[in-house]
Amino acid sequence: MAIIQFPKDMKWGTATASYQIEGAVNEDGRGPSIWDTFSHAPGNVKNGDNGDIACDSYHRYEEDIEIMKDLGIDVYRFSVAWPRIFPTGDGEVNPKGLEFYHKFVDKLLEAGIEPMCTLYHWDLPQALQDKGGWDNRETIDAFVRYAETMFKEFSGKIKFWITLNEPWCVSYLSNYIGAHAPGYQDLQLATNIAHHLLVAHGRTVQKFRELNMEGEIGFAPNTTWLEPFSDKQEDVDACNREIAYFIEWFMDPVFKGEYPQFMVDWFKKKGVEVKIEEGDLEDIHQPIDFLGINYYTGHIARYKENEGLFDWEMVENGYERTDIGWPVYHEGFYNVLKRITDSYGKVPIYITENGSCYNDEPVDGRVKDDRRTKYLKQHLTALSRSIESGVNIKGYLTWSLLDNFEWAEGYSKRFGIVYVNYRTQERIKKDSFYWYKQTISNGFFEFE
Ligand code: BGC
C-alpha cells in the first residue's frame, strides 16, 4: 500500500463548459453559436443530440453549487458563453447575459469557491462564423473586446482567467479533421486559425495587463503523449512530431516567441505555412501567470510512411480503454508535465482538465464507477510523481463535475463524477464523487 500525498496549498477543483451544461440557448437574449448550428445539422452529433437543454445548469446552477460545496472544492472552472454577452459577437453588449454570470459568480463566492473563468470554450457566436470565424482577423478584435468587457465587469470577483480552451481542438479538430464545429477539412485553414487564436490569446493578456487587473491569466492547451515503439530514430521522431502538434506548436510561440522550426518544415512539406503578420509573434509572446493543462490519454506508436499528418501508426498493446475508446495512459501524464517543465522552466501549472468516460448507470440509486476512481488514482499518482520531480503544480481540476453534452458524442458519453438523468435532470453523486471528496479533505489517498 502506498500513500499518495499532495502539497497542502494545492487547489482542488472540477471543470465544465457553457455549451456542455447550460442549455437555455434561446433565453435572455443569447445569440446562436457555431455549436447550435453544427449540432442541429443532421449527421454531426451522435443520435442527433444538441445542447438546447443539456444539464439545464442555466436554471439549476444553485443546485450545482450545493453539490460543489458538498464536494469541498477550492476552485470551479466554468466557461462563459460569448453569445450570451455579445449575441452577434461584436455588436451591443447583452446586459442579461452579464447578469446571469454575476448571479452565478456571486453564488460561487458565497459558497467559498474560487471562480476560474474560461473565456472561450468553443461557442463562437455564429454571426462571427458567418464572416469567416477565426480565419478572419476581425474575430481577434471581437474576442479582445469581449474579454475586456468581462475583465471590467468581473474585476475583483474573478481572479483566474483562461483565454482559450484547447486551441488545437478549435483549429485542427474543428477545421482540419472536421469532427467539431464548424466542421471544415482544410489544413491551411486550420493552421491560420491556430495562429489567429494565439494572437487573440496574446492580445487578451496584454489587455489584462493594461487594465492592471488583479488576478492571474493563462491558457489551457490539450496535450497527449506518444511513447515510441522502439528506439529507432524514425519512431522517436514520429512520436515527437505528434506530441509537438499539441505542446510546442502552441506553447513555443507563447513562451519563446517563435514556432518550432522542425514543425514549420513539416507543415511546409504538406503545403501549409503559418501566415505571420508583423508584430504577431511579439503579441503572442506575453508572460502568462499560469499554464492550464488538459490531459486525458496517450499511447504507443511507430513510424509509418504517409500515415496521417505526421507519419505514424498506433501500436495496440492491450492498454485498458475508457468507454470513449481512449487508452488509459497515466505515464503519459507524467511525461507531458516533465517535458513542459524541461522546455519552459517551472511555470505554475493548473491541471485544468483530466478525467475519464465511463458510462456506468445507477443501480438502486447508486453509481458504482470504480473504473473512474481507478483512473483518478492513477493520474493523481502520476501528478504526485511530477511534483516530486520539480513540476510546479498549483492545482488539479477534474473533468467533469457533471455528465454533460460531450460534443460530437452527444449525451452518449459520460465524464461526470455526478450522474445526470437527462430526462428528469436529477443529479446523482457517483462513487468517484465520494472518493474525490475524501481525497480533497485528506490531501492524500491510499493506493493498494
Ligand atoms: C474538452 C471538454 C471535453 C473533454 C472530454 C476536452 O477536450 O475541453 O470540453 O468534454 O475534453 O472530451
Backbone dihedral angles phi then psi of residue 129, each to the nearest 5 degrees: -60, -35
- Which ligand 1 atom sits nearest the alpha carbon of residue 169? 7
Q: Which of 220, 285, 219 shows the shortest CA–CA distance to 252? A: 285
Instruction: Name the residue with the closest Cα to ligand 1, atom 5.
Output: 406
Q: pLDDT tens digit string along 408-446? A: 999 999 999 999 999 999 999 999 999 999 999 999 999
H or E, element range at 441: helix 431-442
Residue 383 contacts residue 338 (beta carbons within 8 Å): no
Q: CA 411 from chain center: how many Å? A: 18
Distance of CA 356 to the CA centre of its chain: 13
Nearest Cα to 200, choosing from 216, 219, 214, 215?
A: 219
Task: Identify the band that residue 273 occupies on the pLDDT scale cut at 50, 70 and 90.
Answer: very high
Name the binding residues.
20, 121, 165, 296, 399, 406-407
Query: How many angstroms separate the alpha carbon of residue 221 from the centre of ligand 1?
Result: 11
pLDDT of 448 above 90: no
Q: In this structure, are residues 430 and 419 in contact, taking their beta carbons and an 8 Å threshold?
A: yes
Q: Are 223 and 165 in contact (CB under 8 A)?
A: no
Per residue in 11-41, pLDDT tens? 999 999 999 999 999 999 999 999 999 999 9
Taking Cα atoms as reference points, which of 114, 72, 113, 74 lies closest to residue 437? 72
C-alpha cell at position 231: 528506439
**What is d(CA 224, CA 218) in angstroms, rounded to the nearest whole number?**
19
- Ligand 1 contacts (CB < 6 A) are 17, 20, 165-166, 169, 222, 294, 353, 399, 406, 415
Note the Cα 279 to chain centre separation in Å. Answer: 27
Task: Indicate the SS3 state at residue 240.
Answer: helix
C-alpha span between 194 and 188 (Å, rounded)? 10
DSSP 363: B
Name the closest-CA residue to atom 9, ligand 1: 17
| Contact indicator for 33, 126 with CB cutoff of 8 Å | yes
Q: Is the dihedral of CA 165, 171, 176, 181 positive or negative?
A: positive
Separation CA 168–CA 245 (nearest Å) = 8
Specify the pairing of strand 393-399 against strand 349-353.
parallel
Length of the chain: 448
CA 277 to ligand 1 center in whole angstroms: 31
- Residue 15: per-residue pLDDT: 99
- Ligand 1 center to 233 CA (angstroms): 32
pLDDT for residue 419: 99
Residue of minimum CA distance from atom 10 in ligand 1: 406
Please tell me the distance between residue 409's alpha carbon and the centre of ligand 1 in angstroms.
Answer: 11
pLDDT over threshold 90, residue 260: yes
Mean pLDDT of the residues in the chain: 98
Q: Which atom of ligand 1 is nearest to the CA of 324?
A: 12
| d(CA 263, ligand 1 centre) in Å | 25
Compute the radius of gyration of the chain from its Cα atoms.
Answer: 21
For residue 306, pLDDT over 90 is answered with yes
Query: Closest ligand 1 atom, CA of 122?
Result: 9
| Mean of pLDDT values over 334-355 | 99
Average pLDDT over residues 105-113: 98
Q: Is 6 helix (H, G, I), strand (E, B) or coil?
A: coil
Atom from ligand 1 closest to the CA of residue 357: 5
On whether the CB atoms of residues 259 and 274 are closer than 8 A, the answer is yes
Q: Find the farthest-apart pair of alpha carbons in the chain and give their distance in angstroms, rounded.
A: 62
Is the CB of residue 202 less than 8 Å from the CB of residue 281?
no
In the chain, % of residues over pLDDT 90: 99
pLDDT category of residue 1 using cuts at 50, 70 and 90? confident
Is residue 165 within 8 A of residue 118, CB to CB? The reply is yes
Q: Are 354 and 398 in contact (CB under 8 A)?
A: yes
Q: Given a cut of 90, is residue 317 above it in pLDDT?
A: no
User: Which residue in 64, 126, 33, 14 sits closest to 407, CA to CA?
Assistant: 33
Burial code (b: 16+ CB inside 10 Å, e: under 16) for 176-208 equals bebebbbbbeebbbbbbbbbbbbbbbbbbbebb
The Cα–Cα gap between 15 and 244 comes to 25
Per-position DSSP letters for 14-79, written without gaps between them? EE--HHHH---TTSTTPPPBHHHHHHHSTTSSGGG--SSSTT-HHHHHHHHHHHHHHHT-SEEEEE
**Location of C-alpha cell 455564429:** 126
The answer to whether 54 and 20 have CB atoms below 8 angstroms apart is yes
Q: List residues bridging with 294 in a β-sheet.
A: 222, 353
Mutate to test the pocket of ligand 1, among 350, 353, 359, 397 (most ligand atoms within 8 A of CB): 353
Report yes or no: 358 and 371 within 8 Å, Cβ to Cβ. yes
Residue nearest to atom 12 of ligand 1 (CA): 406
Q: Is the peptide bond before 182 cis (omega within 30 degrees of 0)?
A: yes
Ligand 1 atom index nearest CA of 415: 5
346 C-alpha to center of ligand 1: Å? 26
Enzyme catalytic residues: 166, 353
Q: Which residues are annotated as a binding site for substrate?
A: 20, 121, 165, 296, 399, 406-407
**Hey, what domains does the chain have and what are their CATH numbers?**
11-441 (3.20.20.80)
Strand 418-420 with 312-314, pairing: unpaired
Best probe residue, ligand 1, of 172, 352, 400, 407 (max atoms within 8 Å of C-beta): 407
Give the model confidence (pLDDT) of 157-181 as tens digits: 999 999 999 999 999 999 999 999 9
Of all atoms in ligand 1, which is nearest to the CA of residue 166? Answer: 8
Nine-digit cell string for 219: 491558457
Containing H/E element for 217? strand 216-220
pLDDT at 406: 99
- The alpha carbon of 1 and the centre of ligand 1 are apart by a number of angstroms equal to 32
Specify the DSSP class assigned to residue 173: I
* DSSP 8-state class, residue 416: -
pLDDT at 412: 98
Task: Give the predicted TM-score (pTM) of the model.
Answer: 0.98
